[in-house]
A and B are shown apart, each in its own frame.
Chain A
Amino acid sequence: MTHPDFLWRDPDPRPSYDVVIVGGGGHGLATAYYLARNHGLTNVAVLEKGWLAGGNMARNTTIIRSNYLWDESAAIYEHSLKLWEGLSAELDYDLQFSQRGVLNLAHSLGDVREGRRRVEANRLNGVDAEWLDADEVKKFCPLVNVSARARYPVLGATLQRRGGIAKHDHVAWALARRADAYGIDLVQGCEVTGFEISGGRVTAVRTSRGRIAAGTVALAAAGHTSVLAELAGFRLPLQSHPLQALVSELLEPVLDCVVMSNAVHVYVSQAHKGELVMGAGIDAYNSYGQRGGVHVIEAQMAAALELFPVFSRVRVLRTWAGIVDVSPDASPIIGRTPVENLFVNAGWGTGGFKATPGAGWVYADTIAHGRPHPLAEPFALDRFTTGALIDEHGAAAVAH
């Protein structure tokens, strides 16, 4: 047997590029791909300190949806979902994008009101959304325990049928292959350790593999953005937290939709291969250690068993954490920074996988034109000064 061909080269960095993207996760790769595809920019490098897409891109629970409350969020996440719907064909790679439906359960009158309000808001924004009562939840997903005697009984749920999951590794590999084919250098094992800034403008990055001059530098470093911003001399309203997830042993197909609950705090889907994939809430403290407290996993499993008593004998195969960057309004920060030609895409927190193509699209456009893409404009850094926050705690915080 021969080894299959690699999907991308493993080049050494060149001394200079038009655009240097810091971070080779999904967002960095999607940005590189759209820079080439939409704007003809190919003198581009993606610098990744570890191996390609080994950060949050490899650690997330792969849930995709666009049923966010506010107009600005609905617009950017729906843009992304529409891109997902054509992405396997466009990249000529099976992303195992599966629109199996996403349920967000309601367990209290407050949850019910929030859910119904979000359904109406989504419809006004052209996002598909339905409200299901408890019986309809049972019909849609027979495994869910809707007994009125549960500690936190299921009173109903929002359903987005176009939501679902995709295979995260495939997404990264497919984007990497295409970016590479355009001539973009994907440089692994290359950590950005500093910036050269003259006259308020970034001119180069310093890396573990030497100095690289850059016309434009674009951060796409998820949980590590604060560290990079500090090196560039500014602060961002971000806190980095561990976010944990786990998978079970392989099972026969039992769960054919995504079930999320903010109130009891778990989200569950079944991967194509058969594992149950479950995510938890963030660990309370900020941290860069890629493991969290076992009590968070315990609480998550208690919640899962409350919803799915049938899982009580399923074994956990492994748990892990990623470092996510949480912003004060649970919305991302995209656009300019205090340093000229240094752009930021961060703060996607616990829910940025679904945004991968959409974020890449608007970030590439922002970089190519040196001004925010219209969908990105509301997510500019200055909203924390103007007060025009996009408060998505209800629809975004920790739920995916």
Chain B
Amino acid sequence: MLLIPCPFCGPRDENEFRYGGQAGVACPERKTSDAEWAAYLFVRDNPKGWFRERWFHAHGCRTWFTVERHTLTQEIR
């Protein structure tokens, strides 16, 4: 189980959280190609290594925040 540092509540067990996937995915401009729109909807980075991602402290302060986690070692920095 991951120990996830909530910026407000401090480190808490993973099962207090909901996962939100890649951080910083911006919605494209309104005038965009089908391919760009598809990439926005469906394609996310999936690296073997460091990854910036969103977590939601569902059973705590109910805040969304971003952490950087290594997807192989599960280290969080």
Contacts and interface: CB of A to CB of B under 8 A. Distances in A.
Given A227-B48, A288-B48, A293 B14 contact: yes
Given A285-B53, A289-B71, A295 B48 contact: no
Interface of A: 224, 226-227, 230, 235-240, 284-289, 293-295, 328, 384-386
13 contacts: A230-B47, A235-B39, A235-B45, A237-B43, A285-B53, A286-B71, A287-B71, A287-B74, A289-B71, A294-B1, A295-B1, A295-B14, A386-B34
Contacts, number: 63
Question: When A and B form their complex, which 6 residue pairs have the shortest distance between CB atoms, in order from nearest?
Answer: A226-B46, A284-B19, A237-B42, A385-B38, A293-B1, A288-B48
B15 A293 contact: yes
A226 B22 CA distance: 15
B18 A289 contact: no
A391 B45 CA distance: 21
A288 B50 CA distance: 11
Contacts of A285: 2, 19, 53, 69, 71
Interface residues of B, number: 27
A293 B51 contact: no
Nearest to B35: A385
Contact of A295 (B15, B38, B45, B74): B15
Residue in A226, A239, A284, A328 with the greatest tally of chain B CB atoms within 10 Å:
A284
Contacts of B34: 385-386
Classify the secondary structure of B's interface with A.
Answer: mixed
Nearest to A230: B47
Interface in B30-74: 34-35, 38-39, 41-48, 51, 53, 69, 71-74
A84 B32 CA distance: 45
Contacts of B2: 285, 293
Contacts of A224: 48
B47 A328 contact: no
Contacts of B48: 224, 227, 288
A226 B74 CA distance: 18
Contacts of B46: 226-227, 236, 238-240, 286
A388 to B, nearest CB: 11
A230 B49 CA distance: 13
A224 B14 CA distance: 24
B73 A328 contact: no
A286 B42 contact: no
A293 B42 CA distance: 26
Contacts of B72: 287-289
B35 to A, nearest CB: 6
Given A284-B19, A285-B19, A384-B38, 4 more contacts: A237-B42, A285-B71, A287-B71, A288-B72
